Amino acid sequence: MPEGPSILIIKEILAPQMTGKKILSASGNAKIDMAQLVDKKIVQLRCWGKHLLISLPDCTIRIHFLMFGTYSIDEQTKQDRSLRLKLELGKKHIYFYTCSVKLLDGDINLIYDWEGDVLNEKWSMAKARKKLKEMPGTMVCDALLDQQVFAGVGNIIKNEVLYRIKLHPETRIGSIPPRKLSSLINEARNYSFDFLKWKKAFTLKKHWLAHTKKICSRCQLPLLKKYCGKTKRRSFFCSNCQIKYK
């Protein structure tokens, strides 16, 4: 479930089911004050990067699905011990499993920078470029996973973006030529929308060109698999096609 586009899909499914409904009861093993949620009306659902945000009049429930989080509607599909939050909304029951649940007080516009979310209509290329300028020594594989710069980008998007723009994951931000930096920022958003489209069509894996792949579709040479950067996440790349600037 975890990358930004997957969260957006969940939001789109849940929003019509939840918006405007009153929470009749809240339970689960999330370490939050459940009582605070009862009798509150759900004002709106949003998402930022990998966060699903359920806003009530005075606070927001923040769901982060981590690696294995799931949800279900009306039917409890998992064991109690992984049930973090159950919301009873009239006849509807919404379940969240193995996720991180937090309550955020007040106005979330003060917490979240919508311009930093690659899928948001307010996404700002200029702002991303500015943030990147401030981290010249960071490897691009780490920068793409930095949620402060590219909220919503995960490891799959990282690998596919770098493959598309022919850039080596271990290239440091400061040595990327300006035009290549532009394509990086562009493609982080662009690929995220392709991911969204393919995920909705259940054809995401089919479209992977780098992630978990063995052969470069461009030059037919074997792809390398390496745990790169400070984040030490799997990188799949072609050392022949993907340039490492120095």
**Chain contacts with DNA (rule: CB under 7 A):** 1-3, 6, 49-50, 64, 66-68, 70, 78-79, 81-82, 97-98, 100, 145, 147, 154-156, 211-212, 230, 233-234
For residues 67 and 91, which CB has a smaller minimum distance to DNA in the complex?
67
Residue 177 C-beta: closest distance to DNA, Å: 27
For residues 79 and 220, which CB has a smaller minimum distance to DNA in the complex?
79
Residue 165 tokens read as 């723009």
Residue 225 C-beta: closest distance to DNA, Å: 8
Residue 65 C-beta: closest distance to DNA, Å: 8
Residue 62 C-beta: closest distance to DNA, Å: 10
For residues 85 and 145, which CB has a smaller minimum distance to DNA in the complex?
145
Residue 136 C-beta: closest distance to DNA, Å: 15
Q: How far apart are CA 189 and CA 120, in angstroms?
A: 9
Q: How far apart are CA 157 and CA 24, in angstroms?
A: 38
For residues 42 and 192, which CB has a smaller minimum distance to DNA in the complex?
192
For residues 68 and 193, which CB has a smaller minimum distance to DNA in the complex?
68
Residue 240 tokens read as 């022949």
